[in-house]
């Protein structure tokens, strides 16, 4: 290849690489519909909702997450994924959603609409009725979370880091209401951490490295169980 052709090839390759990188960032930063299922391995009503979340987990534009709660552990089976912070996240949703207290199963979409989620089509209907988040741009890359400028209702929003296992995990249950059953779970959350806050100005936060095998999502959300303004996942 001649020097001139070689230079042109390198230039075109560089442009192609930049275009690919831009498209990847754009894909991550596209508005998402965040679907949170609050479930428990100790709840006999939860398996249908787990199955319904599995049906939507791979839909384009949907971020589906399973948060396992702890308040049914007393029935004889300690949920293997349950954490108190997940229970507290659900509890914080209930007053704005008009509920007296938490229950399972419960599906919350974009932090401001909910349904039981156990009946066929319930989750799909709520996704269609709620739409995608409409807040500022939000993207992940290079060990950073980049949040664009925008409006922060009430002047402030929380930035939540979610670590989860992408895909389906099967859990055999030996005691409690689901004794003898093997329960599938979709996109199980293992950790929920507040990274910081956002007040409307463009901002960049450090993104800690994930443990092996875990995927990352970041949620920008109004405090106190409020609406999710933006979300991104890798």
Task: Please confirm whether the linkage preceding 105 is cis (ω < 30° from 0).
Answer: yes
Whether the CB-CB separation of 175 and 124 falls below 8 Å is answered with: no
pLDDT in tens, the chain (234 residues): 544 444 443 444 444 444 444 444 433 457 899 999 999 999 999 999 999 999 999 999 999 999 999 999 999 999 999 999 999 999 999 999 999 999 999 999 999 999 999 999 999 999 999 989 889 999 999 999 999 999 999 999 999 999 999 999 999 999 999 999 999 999 999 999 999 999 999 999 999 999 989 999 999 999 999 999 999 998
Write down the pLDDT at residue 11. Answer: 44
Q: How does DSSP classify residue 152? A: -
Relative orientation angle of helices 47-56 and 122-130, to the nearest 10 degrees? 50
Whether the CB-CB separation of 149 and 201 falls below 8 Å is answered with: yes
Write down the pLDDT at residue 134. Answer: 87
Range 80-88, long-range pairs (CB < 8 A, 24+ positions) = 80/41, 80/171, 81/41, 81/171, 81/185, 81/188, 81/189, 81/190, 82/40, 82/41, 83/192, 85/192, 86/38, 86/189, 86/192
Tokens linked to 204: 């960049």
Give dist(CA 115, CA 130) in Å, integer: 12
Write down the pLDDT at residue 28. Answer: 43
Length of the chain in residues, anyone? 234
pTM here?
0.87
Whether the CB-CB separation of 53 and 174 falls below 8 Å is answered with: no
Write down the pLDDT at residue 118. Answer: 97
Q: DSSP H helical segments within 77-202, as ranges?
A: 84-97, 122-130
Going from the C-alpha of 1 to that of each of 5, 8, 14, 33, 199, the distances in angstroms are 6, 11, 18, 49, 54
Write down the pLDDT at residue 30. Answer: 73
Report angle CA 149, 112, 132 to the nearest 5 degrees: 55
List b or e across 164-196, with b for residues whose CB sees 16 or more CB atoms inside 10 angstroms: bbbeeeebebeebbbeeeebebbbbbbebeebe
Whether the CB-CB separation of 149 and 204 falls below 8 Å is answered with: no
At residue 14, what are phi and psi to the nearest 5 degrees? -65, -45
Write down the pLDDT at residue 29. Answer: 56
Give dist(CA 230, CA 228) in Å, integer: 6
Write down the pLDDT at residue 8. Answer: 46
Write down the pLDDT at residue 97. Answer: 97
Write down the pLDDT at residue 53. Answer: 98
Write down the pLDDT at residue 201. Answer: 97
Give dist(CA 18, CA 106) in Å, integer: 42
């Amino acid at each position: 290849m001649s020097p001139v052709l070689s230079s042109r090839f390198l230039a075109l390759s560089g442009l192609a690489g930049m275009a690919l990188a831009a498209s990847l960032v754009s894909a991550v930063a596209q508005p998402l519909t965040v679907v949170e299922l609050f479930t428990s391995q100790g709840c006999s009503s939860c398996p249908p909702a787990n199955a319904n979340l599995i049906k939507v987990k791979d839909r384009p534009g949907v971020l589906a997450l399973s948060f396992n709660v702890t308040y049914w552990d007393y029935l004889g089976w300690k949920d293997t994924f349950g954490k108190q912070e997940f229970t507290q996240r659900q509890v914080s949703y209930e007053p704005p959603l008009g509920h007296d207290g938490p229950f399972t199963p419960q599906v919350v979409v974009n932090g401001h609409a909910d349904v039981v989620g156990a009946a066929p089509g319930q989750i799909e209907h709520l996704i269609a009725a709620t739409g995608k988040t409409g807040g500022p741009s939000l993207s992940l890359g290079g060990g950073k979370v980049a949040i664009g400028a925008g409006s922060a209702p009430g002047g402030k929003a929380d930035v939540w880091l979610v670590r989860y296992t992408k895909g389906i995990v099967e859990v055999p249950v030996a005691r409690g209401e689901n004794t003898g059953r093997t329960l599938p779970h979709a996109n199980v959350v293992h950790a929920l951490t507040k990274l910081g806050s956002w007040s409307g100005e463009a901002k960049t936060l450090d993104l800690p490295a994930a443990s092996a095998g875990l995927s990352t999502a970041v949620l920008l959300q109004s405090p106190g169980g409020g609406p999710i303004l933006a979300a991104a996942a890798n």
